[in-house]
């Protein structure tokens, strides 16, 4: 899911990278200035990053119900599917890295033979409570994801081993699989949860990657923006790029589309304003009321009347 196609690489290298360096970012909106306005947290309330970035409820009444009224319903089917599918991707990446460290760089045939033995997770506790049809569909798609990722990972490994005859296993992992999955971050500097986790992060040209199994939404950019600010606050180097990977299923095929974007001033300001607005709502216990139209799949629907 995380590897760029040749066209996406060209768009990144010839389009977004030069443009991001040319545009720049106002220093006040860099995460390392978390101790100064406008980044400095105004309220004591600490929110999870997804709570800031989530806008499926237009008025954020779901956040009010969860944080103020302490109502915490179970996840809906879309949330469960996203969690399970994300786990399938992570499992292949971690298993592949482990295999390389265990086998060394003896041959791509040996490594890929072992990688091809990786099986999709059979226990899906996150999926409990779903219908038999939904469970069957999830298991089928998990198998598709696992096979898809194994093929892509093996291709990358073979390509790197072909080009570098004297490579070591640590270098092979970093060149073939240059993605840190579930990078842990402390968002406290920015008034966020101390236990954040990015879907994926690429260090070579710092880029935040977020994996989505659903329809594209404009507010999805708030996730990559938030993680970029936190990374800048923690490590003090600039993050200018984000990528949202949208995954869909069409029969026995996986369709992947990537939204590569610059994390500029406008997105950063949007994230900060949203953070402050939601933190104020929680801290001052302000009920934002119902939106004009509710999402039929919202887990808080029965609690909002």
- Secondary structure of the chain as H, E, C letters: CCCCCHHHHHHHHHHHHHHHHHHCCCHHHCHHHCCCCCCCCCCCCCECHHHHHCCCCCCCHHHHHHHCCCCCCCCCHHHHHHHHHHHHHHHHHHHHHHHHHHHCCCCHHHHHHHHCCCCCCCCCHHHCCCCHHHHHHHHHHHHHHHHHHHHHHHHHHHHHHHHCCCCCHHHHHHHHCCEEECCEECCHHHCECCCEECCEEECCCCEEEEEECCCCCHHHHHHHHHHHHHHHHHHCCCCCEEEEEEEEEECCEEEEEEEEEECCHHHHHHHHHHHHHHHHHHHCCCCCCCCCCCCCCCCCHHHHC
User: What confidence score (pLDDT) does residue 126 get?
Assistant: 66
pLDDT tens-place string over residues 129-161: 788 898 889 999 999 999 999 999 999 999 999
Please write down the long-range contacts of 178-183, taking CB distance under 8 Å and 24 or more positions apart: 178/202, 178/203, 178/204, 179/2, 179/93, 179/209, 181/89, 181/90, 181/93, 181/94, 182/90
Burial label, 125 (beta-carbon count in 10 A; 0-12, 13-18, 19+):
exposed
User: What confidence score (pLDDT) does residue 113 get?
Assistant: 95
Both tokens assigned to 138:
């999830």
pTM, to two decimals: 0.93
How many alpha carbons lie under 13 Å from residue 303 in its C-beta half-sphere? 16
How many alpha carbons lie under 13 Å from residue 108 in its C-beta half-sphere? 17
User: What confidence score (pLDDT) does residue 286 get?
Assistant: 98
pLDDT tens-place string over residues 258-305: 999 999 999 999 999 999 999 999 999 999 999 999 988 899 999 987
**Distance in angstroms between the alpha carbons of the first and the last residue of the chain:** 39
Low-confidence ranges of the chain (pLDDT < 70): 125-128, 204
> Could you give the CA distance from residue 161 to residue 272 in angstroms, rounded to a whole number?
44
Closest CA to 225 of 258, 264, 186, 187: 264
């Amino acid at each position: 899911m995380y590897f760029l196609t040749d066209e996406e690489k060209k768009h990144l290298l010839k389009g977004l990278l030069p443009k991001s360096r040319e545009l720049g970012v106002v220093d006040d909106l860099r995460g390392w200035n978390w101790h100064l306005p406008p980044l400095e947290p105004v309220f004591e309330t600490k929110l999870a990053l997804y709570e800031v970035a989530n806008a499926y409820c237009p008025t954020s009444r779901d956040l009010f119900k969860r944080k103020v009224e302490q109502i915490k319903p179970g996840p809906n089917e879309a949330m469960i599917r996203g969690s399970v599918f994300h786990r399938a991707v992570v499992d292949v990446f971690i298993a592949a890295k482990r295999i390389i460290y265990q086998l060394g760089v003896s041959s791509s045939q040996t490594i890929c033979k072992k990688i091809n033995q990786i099986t999709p997770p059979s226990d899906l506790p996150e999926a409990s409570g779903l219908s038999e049809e939904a469970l069957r569909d999830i298991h089928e798609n998990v198998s598709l994801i696992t096979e898809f990722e194994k093929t892509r990972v093996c291709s990358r490994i073979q390509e790197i081993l072909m080009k570098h005859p004297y490579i070591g296993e640590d270098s092979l992992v970093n060149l073939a699989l240059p993605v840190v999955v579930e990078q842990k971050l402390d968002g406290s500097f920015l008034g966020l949860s101390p236990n954040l986790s990015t879907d994926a992060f690429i260090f070579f040209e710092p880029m935040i990657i977020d994996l989505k199994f659903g329809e594209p939404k404009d507010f999805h950019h708030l996730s990559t923006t938030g993680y970029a600010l936190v990374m800048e606050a923690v490590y003090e180097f600039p993050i200018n790029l984000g990528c949202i990977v949208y995954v869909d299923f069409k029969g026995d095929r996986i369709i992947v589309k990537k939204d590569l974007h610059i994390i500029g001033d406008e997105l950063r300001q949007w994230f900060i304003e949203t953070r402050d607005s939601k933190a104020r709502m929680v801290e001052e216990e302000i009920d934002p009321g119902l939106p004009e139209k509710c999402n039929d799949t919202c887990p808080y629907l029965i609690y909002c009347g």
